[in-house]
Amino acid sequence: MPEPDIFYILGNKVRRELLSHLTCTECYFSFLSSKVTVSSTAVAKHLKIMEREGILKSYEREGPFIGPARKYYDIAISKTYVTTITPNIFWYRGLELSGRPVEKITIDLSGVPNEKDDLLAIVSSFLQMTAELEKVLLALQSIESMRDRLMKDVKRRYLEKVGDMTQLAILHYLLLTKKATVEELSDRLNLKEREVIAKAQELDRFIPLKIKEGVIEIDEERLKQKIGGDNNAGKD
């Protein structure tokens, strides 16, 4: 399958919102429609475009109740996209997120002078910089592969332990953005602001949060304290 037109896909706000929900969990059509502020006809069109481009896959599955099978959507790719746009460079690449992460990569720019007058020397320096860039991309690929696996584990463990999809959606978003306003989460999750606050307070029982002046973020200090307490449990 050819490379999807990722700029076309991400250039639309509704498609970005749909992808955001689908990164939290696989979703059936009516659930996705309820999470965005456009008609179900428009949602169906956007889903069809992303499926055609190879971003999504769909399948039917019987629900827990009597009735027709529901059509589910899931993301079909695992990639990081990198792009540079300047007056001198337009370049992008998709990096497959798979394989064993590289644990240590050394970037060395000391041997590449910034200023050269000779054309051949300039070209040689550019090629050296490109070789160092490949190391950066390998590091990014490794980090994102690891983050992808960790996020998968977060979702699995949270659903096993708590089972609340709305809480998980808030946690998922906070892990990716570090902090968010109540208004932002309200728009993204299609919930009333008081419902967002209530769900965040429930989430705080499991993952420590800071909820203050309309901003919610993960409380890393309390998180470290809880981890230390768990690690020391049972010791003299």
- Is position 155 within any domain? no
Answer yes or no: is pLDDT of 235 > 60: no
User: Which of these three, 47, 75, 103, is where a domain ends?
Assistant: 75
For residue 55, the enclosing domain spans 6-75
Does 157 reside within a domain? no
At residue 65, the pLDDT reads 57
Residue 142 lies in a domain: yes
One-letter amino acid identity for 69? A
For 170-211, write each residue's pLDDT tens digit: 999 999 999 999 999 998 888 899 999 999 999 999 999 999
pTM: 0.84
Confidence of residue 73 (pLDDT cuts 50, 70, 90): very high
**Where residue 58 sits, what CATH number does that domain have?**
1.10.10.10
Among residues 75, 103, 122, the one where a domain terminates is: 75
Classified as helix, coil or strand, 102 is coil
User: Is the pLDDT score of 67 beyond 70?
Assistant: no
Burial label for 196, CB within 10 Å (0-12, 13-18, 19+), is buried
Q: SS3 of 29, please?
A: helix
Q: Is the pLDDT of residue 68 over 80?
A: no
Which ranges constitute the DSSP H helices of the chain? Answer: 6-10, 13-24, 29-34, 40-52, 119-161, 165-177, 182-189, 193-203, 220-232
Better-scored residue on pLDDT, 109 or 83: 83
| Residue at 17 is within a domain | yes
pLDDT at 176 (0 to 100): 94
Domains in the chain, number: 3
What is the model's pLDDT at position 55?
95
In a domain, 200, yes or no: yes
Whether 158 is in a domain gets the answer: no
154 domain residue, yes or no? no
Read off the pLDDT of each residue in 37-42 and give the average, rounded to a whole number: 91
Where does the pLDDT of residue 14 fall: very low under 50, low under 70, confident under 90, or very high at 90 and above?
Answer: very high
For the segment 122-139, the average pLDDT, to the nearest whole number, is 92
Residue 78: partners with Cβ closer than 8 Å, 6 or more residues away: 96, 97, 98, 148
| Percent of all residues in the chain with a pLDDT value above 70, rounded to a whole number | 94
The pLDDT score that the predictor gives to residue 63 is 60
Q: Which residues contact 17 (CB under 8 A, 6 or more apart)?
A: 35, 36, 188
Domain final residue, candidates 30, 60, 75: 75
174 plus 205 within the same structural domain: yes
Is 108 a member of any domain? yes
Going edge to edge, which strands form the sheet with 215-218?
179-181, 215-218, 209-212
One domain for residues 71 and 10: yes
Residues contacting residue 104 through CB under 8 Å, at least 6 positions apart: none
User: How far is the CA of 183 from the CAs of 10, 37, 196, 216, in angstroms?
Assistant: 23, 15, 9, 10
Looking at the fold, whether 94 and 68 belong to one and the same domain comes out as no
Going by their DSSP bridges, the two strands 70-75 and 79-85 should be labelled as: unpaired
pLDDT at position 30 is: 87
Q: Are 179 and 212 in contact (CB under 8 A)?
A: no
